[in-house]
Amino acid sequence: MKKVLLVDDDRDFVESTRAVLEEKYEVIVAYDGDEGIEKVKSERPDLIILDVIMPTEDGFSAAEQLKNDPEFSDIPVIMLTSFGTRMSKETQIPRSRGFDLQAEDYIEKPVKPDELLRHAEELLS
């Protein structure tokens, strides 16, 4: 069974998303970027779903660390965020930054469960 790491500081989102993903995958969770990086090193997931706005290490920084490490750079990353609705227009981080880091996909919250599953399936096939 493929292993998916879900990294997000919103515990309600994590629990609801975990329930959807567990229909097809083994799901590991982390609640911030630092914990996410540690889980990547210890669990070696097949896919990382990474929120952008988090305390301690944000998703962009975590993705950058992983993509710059040859041991983990081949693991596909889906950047997942609602920053477009949570931040003012002046402070929005360009969506392209996720792709600049070689993230394989980018999805904005709220995301429908079947859409998230479809994106995960595409990257894991």
Residue pLDDT tens, the chain, 125 long: 999 999 999 999 999 999 999 999 999 999 999 999 999 999 999 999 999 888 888 898 999 999 999 999 999 999 987 755 444 444 444 444 444 557 899 898 888 888 999 999 999 99
pLDDT value at position 69?
A: 96
- Return the DSSP state at 9: S
Q: What is the pTM of this model?
A: 0.86
Backbone dihedral angles phi then psi of residue 93, each to the nearest 5 degrees: -85, 130
How far is CA 113 from its chain centroid? 14
pLDDT value at position 83?
A: 58
Cα separation, 68 vs 55, whole angstroms: 21
pLDDT value at position 110?
A: 87
End-to-end CA distance of the chain, in Å? Answer: 12
pLDDT value at position 80?
A: 86
Q: Is the Cβ–Cβ distance between 46 and 2 less than 8 Å?
A: yes
Instruction: For residue 79, list its beta bridge partners.
Output: 50, 106
CATH number of 3-124: 3.40.50.2300
pLDDT value at position 103?
A: 87
Cα separation, 51 vs 6, whole angstroms: 8
